[in-house]
Every structure is written in structure tokens, then in C-alpha cells.
Amino acid sequence: MSRRVPEIETTVTHECGFTKTARTPGLAAKSLARHSCERQREIQDRAARVEARRTREGVKRDCQCKIANHVHGTRLAYVVDKCRCRPCTDAATQAESNRNKQIAFGRYDTGRVDATEVRAHILALMEAGVSMKRLGKIAGMAHSTISAVVYGRTERGHTAYRRVHKDTAAKILAIQPSMENMAPNRYIDSCGTIRRLQALVAIGWSQNRLCEQLGISRRNFGTFMNADKCTVRKALAVRDLYNQLWNQPQTGVEWHSKTSATRARNHAKARGWAPPLAWDDETIDNPDAQPEFGTKLKLRDTIAEDVEFMHKTGASIDEISERLGNPWQSIERQLHRMGRGELVTLVKTDNRDNGRKASRKRAA
């Protein structure tokens, strides 16, 4: 049995720059004898080139965008502004390295989705009266970003984007074609606005009081009532006022207010203006819709019995609205038309919610 040579860590070097540390002197000598000076010089030259490239300063270019402000030291400045300063280059290199790793591990997510649905939603919003400028303001992004999804960037020769960032898509798709999302100064059809004002006059609200509430000059009220168009700002103001006053008919307290309310009702009656209970929230803005006078119901005739039954079984307002498939405000108006205002009061003043919540909590 041969004697084991003790391990003595040995380091050998050569004038070409070769260095090797081995466990024993014999292994170190063997490595020195087998090394190639030419190969060692190639390794050193390659390392020098890598270091020079890593520390080399390229052309520094500041952001020239009119809206965006790309800062140095980011991949965005490297790609968009073509900046080749050291911080931007390092950021782009690191981002590409991370991207390659994620691809290799099968975990890479581009962060983009197909733009077809987003583009169709933008066009639908534009058709509904929400402009690109207004859409960008609501979504908190540049107008050029919205335009690029639909038309592309013509100044760069790009067609409409095929994919967009997930965050951009989520922000745009979250915006609905409602009146609140339209530009305040945009002109829209005034049919629903005029009907709401006429309905308030029909229950005793004088035009002078409505003008005070809306901030409209009495001199311009007649013109406003006969106009085919009105601004979104005025339409929203009238709608909010209508939602506040539709169930508050005016009879007056003293002589002047009584006279004013009577004149308002007579004025509306002479012109055939329908009161609030003749309109539904879903149809009042539809020019083809007609008011429903009397007890004719849009909902099924048993709505009062349904509401009364669900109330007795402990259903809340939200649950009643969900089961009937209509907003509570519409259900409330239908009940008022039927002369069941006491049922509305009973449901609204129900204080059994606390007991139901407590029992559910105990059951949980």
C-alpha cells in the first residue's frame, strides 16, 4: 500500500499571467506544464475588452418627449431616447439579463395583452360621446397613448398597436360610457333634461326656484327648456336636482309660496307635462318613451305583494332590488304610483338589519 502524500495547497504562476492553486505541489506542477500561454493571453484580452466595454461611456441623450420625462438610469431612456450613457446602458443590460433568465425558467411575462378588445372599447366610448382627450384625462394617461392604440404613431411610421400593457388595458376597460365620463362642455340631447324639469314643475316647483337651484338666469330658462341640445354639465346638474326633489311635491306654506306652487302645477297641466311618477329612470332619457299615467305598471302587477312578502321574510333593500332585477329607486316610484307609499316608508325605516347581522354573526 503506497504512502499517501500530504495535501499542501500550492500556487504556481507563469510570466504569461497564468495562475493556478492546487491541493498538492504535484497537481500544481502538472497544471503549469499543461497550460497554454497563447490561450491565457486570449483570456486576458477578452477580459480586457469586456471591462472596457463595461466602463465605456456612450453618447448621452436627454429626453426630448413633449409630455413624458424619461430619466437616466432606466431601460426606457435607453430604448426610446437612444441614450447610451453608462447608467442607462447598465439598466438595459440588467433588464435584458433578467428577461433571459425568466425565459429560461419558463416564467417570463411580457406584461402585455391583445389590443383588439381595448381598441373596440375606445371606439365604443368615442361613439357614446367620450372623446380621446377626455378618456386620457380620466384614465390618467397621455392622449397620445390612447391614440396609438387606435391609430398607431404616424410620426414614427407605426400602425395601430397590436398589444398594450396590462395596466393600460385595465384602466381603459374600467371606463364606462356614462354621462359622468363625457366632457362637461359637450353638447348632448336635452330630451331627458327637459322632461325632468317639466316633471318638477308638475309637482309644484316653480321655475324661479328651479333657476335658483341650478344657477340659471330666469331670462334664459325658457330658451333652455326649448333647446334641442344642452351641455353635459347642465344635464348632470338637472339630473342631480331631479333625484333630490322628485318625491318632494310643493304645496306652499304661506300665501306667496302656495300661489307659486299652484301656478306651477297649472302651467304644467296646461301643457301636458308628466310628473316624476310617470317616468322611469331607464326610459326618461329615451326620446321614443312615453309617460305612464294612472296605475299602469311597467313591472309586473304583483310588485307590491312581492316587496311586502320579501320585507316580511327579512330581505333588505339591496336584496329586494336584486331579486326584482330593478334599482330600488324605480321600485319605489312604482309603489308610489300604486298608492303604497306606506310600504316604501316601512322598508326604508326597517331597523331589523342590526338584528339580522347579529344573528348571522352568531351563526358564523
CA pair distance 274, 289, nearest whole angstrom:
12
Q: Please check whether residue 328 is in contact with residue 317, taking contact to mean a CB–CB distance below 8 angstroms.
A: yes
- Does position 297 have pLDDT exceeding 50, yes or no? no
Stronger pLDDT, 260 or 55, i.e. the higher one: 260
- Does position 357 have pLDDT exceeding 70, yes or no? no
Task: Give the rounded percent of residues in the chain with a pLDDT score beyond 70.
Answer: 92
- Does position 173 have pLDDT exceeding 90, yes or no? yes
**Which pLDDT score is estimated for 193?**
92
Stronger pLDDT, 66 or 182, i.e. the higher one: 182
**Which pLDDT score is estimated for 142?**
84
**Which pLDDT score is estimated for 354?**
46
- Does position 286 have pLDDT exceeding 80, yes or no? yes
Cell of 159: 400602425
- Does position 277 have pLDDT exceeding 90, yes or no? no
- Does position 364 have pLDDT exceeding 70, yes or no? no
- Does position 362 have pLDDT exceeding 50, yes or no? no
**Which pLDDT score is estimated for 5?**
57
Mean per-residue pLDDT for 11-18? 88
Region of 152 on the Ramachandran plot (φ > 0 left; ψ -120 to 50 alpha; else beta): left
Q: Quickly state the pLDDT bin for 255 (edges 50, 70, 90).
A: confident
The residues spanned by each domain of the chain are 112-181, 188-275, 303-363
Mean per-residue pLDDT for 84-97? 91
Q: Please check whether residue 175 is in contact with residue 138, taking contact to mean a CB–CB distance below 8 angstroms.
A: yes
Looking at 68-72, 95-99, 286-290, 354-358, which range is the least confident one?
354-358
- Does position 220 have pLDDT exceeding 70, yes or no? yes
- Does position 213 have pLDDT exceeding 90, yes or no? no
pTM given for the model: 0.53
Mean per-residue pLDDT for 182-209? 89
Cell of 304: 307590491
pLDDT in tens, 154-167: 777 788 889 999 99
- Does position 97 have pLDDT exceeding 90, yes or no? yes
State the number of CA atoms in the 13 A half-sphere of 285 facing the CB.
13
- Does position 342 have pLDDT exceeding 50, yes or no? yes
CA pair distance 119, 147, nearest whole angstrom:
10
- Does position 53 have pLDDT exceeding 80, yes or no? no
Nearest alpha-carbon partner for 111 in 98, 124, 122: 98
Nearest alpha-carbon partner for 323 in 292, 348, 300: 300
Task: Give the rounded percent of residues in the chain with a pLDDT score beyond 90.
Answer: 16
